[in-house]
Amino acid sequence: MTLTQRTAGRRTVTAGVALAVGLTAALAACNGPRRIHENPVMINGDRVGSSDATVQAVAASTAAERETAAARRDSLRAAAVANCAPAVCAALARGELALSMTTAQVMAATGSTERAWSVRDAGGTTVMVARTLEAPPRDATGEVAMVQLGGGRVTSYSYREPQGLRVVSAPSDTTLEGRSRAIAAALIREGDAFDAAGDRVKALDRYDRALVLQPNDPMLQYRVATLLDLQLRPVEAQLRYRRFLQELELQRIEAVGDANAKLAEAIARAQQRILILERQAR
């Protein structure tokens, strides 16, 4: 083999190798060393579906359910106002619960139907509680926790309030004063718990809030004064101690006044009776 032939052979081999390397590189670049072998779930050209069908289906079912609920709510309302006592009728108009309401009236006052309540009967007593705590029924006053009925009439009901449950079992509880009294009592309980736990700042905060609702409570003033005294706030403590004494004095005066009034009434009544008895004796 001549030198020219060997050179030509080498060139051919070199060219072949170069071609093979180039081809491999091109193939490698095209296909890539993929480490992830997952089938695509969506590629270019696919279509993203629409949610309109879902919306329409929900709209249809919602409309039907709303119609049913409205019909039931209206029939309950009609039954509720058919034979209501004046106080109950007024409460229904305000959208508030009231004592001696019937089950239908409770539902009318809360704008709910049977679906909102879980009703249990036990020995002449009926208890109505919210079916779900996620969206409990509520009247104009607040969220209703439980309604108790005896003989088909409401005997007590309770609201879920920030300070806990507030029970209404007497007509006086339904008034603004009654509500304030109940909330103030809950705040005082909370304050006492903080005071016992050594958190005087939070205890004072609860007592202050209770004072807004019960401004003439002398013992509450005394608790605030004591806490301020312990917190080394002498000027405010002094004011509160004075207020406490003043409230006590006012209460004493009021008590004496009441006692004197009662005494005067008793004296007048006794004198009247003496006269009557004397006449009868003649």
Partner 1 sequence: MSRTHPPVPLLRPFVSVLHPHRTRRVAVGVIRAAALVVLAVATGACNNKRVARIEPTSVTDLSGRWNDADSRLVANELIEQSLTAPWAKRFADTHGGEAPTVIVGGFGNRTMEHIPVNTFVKDLERAFVNSGAVRVVASADERQVVRAEREDQQAHATTDSRARLAREQGAAYMLQGEVQAIEDAEGREKVVYYQVDAALVDLESNAKVWVGQHKIKKYIDRRRIGW
Which positions lie near partner 1, rule CB under 8 A? 26, 29-30, 32, 34-36, 38, 40, 42-51, 54-55, 58-59, 62-63, 65-66, 68-70, 73, 111-113, 115-116, 130-132, 134-137
Closer residue to partner 1, CB minimum distance, 45 or 198: 45
Q: Using CA atoms, how far apart are residues 100 and 87, in angstroms rounded to an integer?
A: 10
Q: What is the CA radius of gyration of the chain?
A: 41
Give buried/exposed letters for 73-109 (b at 16+ CB in 10 A, else e). Answer: eeebbebbeeebeeebeebbeeebbbbbbbbbbbbbb
From the CB of 173, what's the least distance to partner 1, in Å? Answer: 23
Closer residue to partner 1, CB minimum distance, 137 or 191: 137
Q: Tell me the longest C-alpha to C-alpha distance in the chain.
A: 175
From the CB of 35, what's the least distance to partner 1, in Å? Answer: 7
Per DSSP, the three-state class of 148 is strand
Per DSSP, the three-state class of 170 is coil
From the CB of 116, what's the least distance to partner 1, in Å? Answer: 4
Closer residue to partner 1, CB minimum distance, 107 or 154: 107
Q: Using CA atoms, how far apart are residues 153 and 157, in angstroms rounded to an integer?
A: 11
Per-residue tokens: 79: 């039954």
Q: Using CA atoms, how far apart are residues 150 and 83, in angstroms rounded to an integer?
A: 18
From the CB of 44, what's the least distance to partner 1, in Å? Answer: 6
From the CB of 70, what's the least distance to partner 1, in Å? Answer: 5
What is the side-by-side order of every strand in the sheet holding 143-150? 117-122, 125-130, 143-150, 153-161, 164-168
From the CB of 83, what's the least distance to partner 1, in Å? Answer: 21
Closer residue to partner 1, CB minimum distance, 108 or 183: 108
Closer residue to partner 1, CB minimum distance, 8 or 59: 59
Look-up of token digits 């607040």:
142
CA distance readout (Å), 252 to 14, 220, 258: 121, 17, 10
Closer residue to partner 1, CB minimum distance, 115 or 273: 115
Q: Using CA atoms, how far apart are residues 147 and 8, in angstroms rounded to an integer?
A: 107
Closer residue to partner 1, CB minimum distance, 3 or 30: 30
From the CB of 106, what's the least distance to partner 1, in Å? Answer: 13
